[in-house]
Amino acid sequence: MDRFYDWNVFPWCLEHGQSPKWVMATTATSILLLLIGLRFAFRCMTPSPLDAKPTADTSGQTPLDKIEPLINFSWSAQEPLRLRTFKPKYHITMGIEQMKLSDWIQIDKHYKNRIDLRCQLLQSNRDQVLRALPSAHGTISKLYAFMVNAYLPTRYSDVFKIIPESRSQASHLLNLVTKDKIPLHPTATSSSMLEAIGRQVEEDFLILQHDAESDEFQLTAFVACFPNGFDWAQKFGKNMSQIHVPVPDYDVKLKKSMNRFLQRMAPGQFVKRHNWSISTSGNLFSVANVHLYAGDKVEAEEVDFEKACLRCERQVLHRLQDSDDVILTIRTYMYPLREIKAEGSGPALADAIDGLQTGSSPNMYFYKRAPNWSDAVKRFLRDEVVETP
């Protein structure tokens, strides 16, 4: 109490007919009112979450504390994501969902085999899987710096390790699975940075930049080893409308909402969407014989169910900090139809194949080449066919 009250006021209290208790009570009341007033003033100056406008981190880098490390992560024991996004009726929508930065890149038990395949394709099909315009260099450098110095070694410290500079070697990121080494700092060429990223993760990366002439986003760079019907080399340098010319109803039902969304994305924002198709070949690198176009021959296929898969894409859109550019990553998952059937999802997938014709974009049935494989696949999924041993 001595530190709060001046006991010299007691003579004044007695002289003026007031008790010391009255002074103590009055002082305590005054302090309480002062604290209430300060708290009220602070609340008035601080906007509520409902009133506050969203603000972006303009530091140029996503804070590391947003990346949740995976401790004691075993890539060889990690099961892949189980995506079952098919529905009874197919409706062409953006289907955007918010997501966390930490969930951006996925590594699972197929990692080593898939990375080996990507490395092969970067050598044998380089012109098809890797391109970059000069305008994308700055964005690629930012992406590279963040992936190599922050995201990968923070999220997956059991797979990626930063090796500091020594007398014998420069600082670098070491891939503990493949033993690949890549520089920590952005290199001189866009293609070398994209290739290095493409050798570390399964996700395909596409750089989208705003094109003032068309007021749309344009594909200005990519490393994409697992295409599904889109030859990205032929789409290179085109805007979103031009890229999606063959997609049924894109121009009518998706174009405006897609362009508006891309232009309004907040810096640092991550969203995801999914799509699905049937792959009768089971090939991850698949630029041909995936879609049907006007004039193409419809011919029933003999489906090899040792190869046939449900192919799902997990597409993530991300706007870089302090940038107007958008990065699209595409992660491809292949689920053997035998696995789908064994888990009991066969009839639901068969219904979804029928639903390609009954939803908001019935031409999608033809576009996905379903007339060629649907009858055989549906019979298999519904267990209406007797398999020969």
pLDDT in tens, 319-368: 988 889 999 999 999 999 999 999 999 999 999 999 999 999 999 999 99
In this structure, what token pair is assigned to residue 284? 């991850």
Residue pLDDT, tens place only, 235-253: 999 999 999 998 999 999 9
Q: Is 328 left (phi over 0), alpha (psi -120 to 50) or beta?
A: beta
Structure confidence at residue 61 as a pLDDT band (50, 70, 90): low
Whether 247 contacts 367, CB under 8 Å = yes
In this structure, what token pair is assigned to residue 230? 């889109």
Structure confidence at residue 48 as a pLDDT band (50, 70, 90): very low
Residue 299 to residue 305: CA distance in whole angstroms: 18
**pLDDT greater at residue 265 or residue 4:** 265
**Average predicted confidence (pLDDT) for the chain:** 86
- End-to-end alpha-carbon separation of the chain, Å? 92
**223 φ/ψ angles, rounded to the nearest 5 degrees:** -130, 105
Map out the domains of the chain as residue ranges: 7-45, 64-381
% residues pLDDT > 70 (the chain): 82
In this structure, what token pair is assigned to residue 224? 């994409």
Q: Is the pLDDT of residue 220 over 50?
A: yes
Using DSSP's 3-state secondary structure scheme, residue 142 falls into: helix
Nearby residues of 91 by Cβ (< 8 Å), 6 or more positions away: 359, 360, 361
Using DSSP's 3-state secondary structure scheme, residue 174 falls into: strand
Written as one letter, the residue type at 7 is: W
1-15, 125-139, 297-311, range with the lowest pLDDT: 1-15
Structure confidence at residue 387 as a pLDDT band (50, 70, 90): low
Residue pLDDT, tens place only, 81-139: 999 999 999 999 999 999 999 999 999 999 999 999 999 999 999 999 999 999 999 99
Residue 387 to residue 389: CA distance in whole angstroms: 6
Q: For the sheet containing 270-279, what is the strand order?
A: 97-98, 270-279, 309-319, 326-336, 204-211, 216-223, 130-132
Q: Is the pLDDT of residue 4 over 90?
A: no
Whether 94 contacts 254, CB under 8 Å = yes
Which residue carries 């596409």 as its tokens?
206
Kindly write down the DSSP assignment for every residue of 300-358, as one continuous string.
-----TTT-EEEEEEEEEEEPTT-S-EEEEEEEEEEEHHHHHHTT-HHHHHHHHHHTTT
